[in-house]
Amino acid sequence: MRYVIIGNSAAAIGCVEGIRQVDQEGPITIISREKYHTYSRPLISYLLAGKTDGERMKYRADDFYEKNGCEVMLGRTAVAIDSLAKTVLLDNGERVPFDRLLCATGSKPFVPAMEGLESVPVKHTFLSLDDAKALDQDLTEESRVMILGAGLIGLKCAEGIAKKVKSVTVVDLAEQILPSILDTAAAAMVQKHIERQGIRFILGTSAKCFTPSRAELKNGSAVDFDVLVLAVGVRPEVELLKNAGADIERGVQVDSHCMTSLPDIYAAGDCTQSYDITSGTERVLALLPNAYRQGEVCGLNMAGLETSYDKAIPMNAIGFFGLHMLTAGSYVGEEYVVQSDSAYKKLVTRQGVLKGYILVGDVARAGIYTALIRDETPLDTIDYELIKEKPQLIAFSKGKRDRVLGGA
């Protein structure tokens, strides 16, 4: 069995480890546009801040590929998939044959059309290690940086460069920061914390037009800058599979075994749609833990061990300037909220089960909440009143505690 993987991040690594749980001999070929050993993308902001380095960013040890019998083609781009001939065409004209293929192409920055944007000489996106390195080369202690986008990518960029530049201004059309994962109250709390680090926010408006070093905003104000970072969002990288004839919506459509509509071709990670058990909808869940697990399920199935991927939930574990937060699930339902000067907690229940949470500041034992969501545990079978106040295993039955702790 010849396995080919397009991509080299979390989903791809999960796939390799899934395959090797079943098949220790079949050759695995990894094709990656990037020239680097597999690395953790969420750490690129810490690289800019000087809190990590290239070695510590590695997602697996140096001998990972050798130990797992992988041929790695770094710096090569897959340009076409022939699903009938079962080959992948590379940018150098080479064709790589496969029996089973995983497409783990991830996502790409979304840059909307904006008047005058082409006139800005120093502009960057912030999604890859190359993006971070290129941005770093253009920064000085006197740089005024404008970041367009107050989502996860934009704010991690702001954190990474805050101590290296003169000023950072973040602009977003939304009325709050992190609108996809925080509610209004939690967002206000996090924003105040970030502002104490010298970051300036202009919210509820967007760029109307650009000149080389100035952005005119739709609210009539303007921002002068030396460096522009475009962090408006990302889009699934679906072109390869779309051109090959796979079914695509916002992301690649896959079944419960993570196979696409094309035989023997699988997809995992940020390029795919997953069924979110908390909202009951198909969504793009561009999250590292989900990408890894989905990739692992692909690997198991590609190697012949039938396995389903059926517990996907949106989840984020992130921090800014020492303030930690965890979010998971959806926020439609009955709310339980507790807020203090240093912490915020929201639990959301619907139809007798926990559907989502937001934790800011105090994130201890959040895994218990996550397990309740994933397992869709009926709350009347546990001491939910106790867990609302403080998550702890004593609220579960002895049998459940034994299973959680690995005793049964």
The DSSP bridge pattern shows strands 227-230 and 78-82 to be: unpaired
322-404 homologous superfamily: FAD/NAD-linked reductase, C-terminal dimerisation domain (3.30.390.30)
Give the C-alpha separation, 217 to 169, whole Å. Answer: 13
Which amino acid does the sequence have at 133?
K
Q: Hey, which CATH number is domain 3-107+235-302, 3.50.50.60, 3.10.180.10, 3.40.50.720, 3.40.50.1000?
A: 3.50.50.60
Q: Kindly calculate the radius of gyration of the chain based on its CA atoms and give it in whole angstroms.
A: 22
* 3-state helix/strand/coil string of the chain: CCEEEECCCHHHHHHHHHHHHHCCCCCEEEEECCCCCCECHHHHHHHHCCCCCCCCCECCCCCHHHHCCEEEEECCCEEEEECCCCEEEECCCCEEECCEEEECCCEEECCCCCECHHHCCCEECCCCHHHHHHHHHHCCCCCEEEEECCCHHHHHHHHHHCCCCCEEEEEECCCCCCCCCCCHHHHHHHHHHHHCCCEEEEECCCEEEEECCEEEECCCCEEECCEEEECCCEEECCHHHHHHCCCECCCECCCCCCECCCCCEEECCCCECEEECCCCEEECCCCHHHHHHHHHHHHHHHCCCCCCCCCCCCEEEEEECCEEEEEEECCCCEEEEEECCCCEEEEEEECCEEEEEEEECCCCCHHHHHHHHHHCCCHHHCCHHHHHHCCCHHHCCHHHHHHHCCCC
Could you tell me how many residues make up the chain?
408
For residue 354, the cross-strand partners are 349
Identity of the amino acid at 289: P
- The answer to whether 3-107+235-302 and 322-404 have equal CATH topology is no
Rounded to whole angstroms, the Cα distance separating 23 from 328 reads 34
pLDDT at 287: 85
The answer to whether residues 190 and 339 touch, using CB atoms and an 8 Å cutoff, is no
Domain boundaries, the chain: 3-107+235-302, 117-232, 322-404
From the number of C-beta atoms within 10 Å of its C-beta (0-12, 13-18, 19+), residue 62 rates as: exposed
pTM, entire model: 0.92
The whole-number pLDDT of residue 407 equals 40
Q: Which fold has domain 117-232?
A: FAD/NAD(P)-binding domain (3.50.50)
Are 266 and 191 contacting, i.e. CB atoms less than 8 angstroms apart?
no
Is the CB of residue 227 less than 8 Å from the CB of residue 143?
Answer: yes
Q: What is the pLDDT of residue 408?
A: 36
Q: What is the pLDDT along the chain (408 residues), one digit of tens a residue?
A: 999 999 999 999 999 999 999 999 999 999 999 999 999 999 999 999 999 999 999 999 999 999 999 999 999 999 999 999 999 999 999 999 999 999 999 999 999 899 999 999 999 999 999 999 999 999 999 999 999 999 999 999 999 999 999 999 999 999 999 999 999 999 999 999 999 999 999 999 999 999 999 999 999 999 999 999 999 989 999 999 999 999 999 999 999 999 999 999 999 999 999 899 998 889 998 888 899 999 999 999 999 999 999 888 999 999 999 999 999 999 999 999 999 999 999 999 999 999 999 999 999 889 889 989 998 999 998 888 988 888 776 556 666 656 555 543
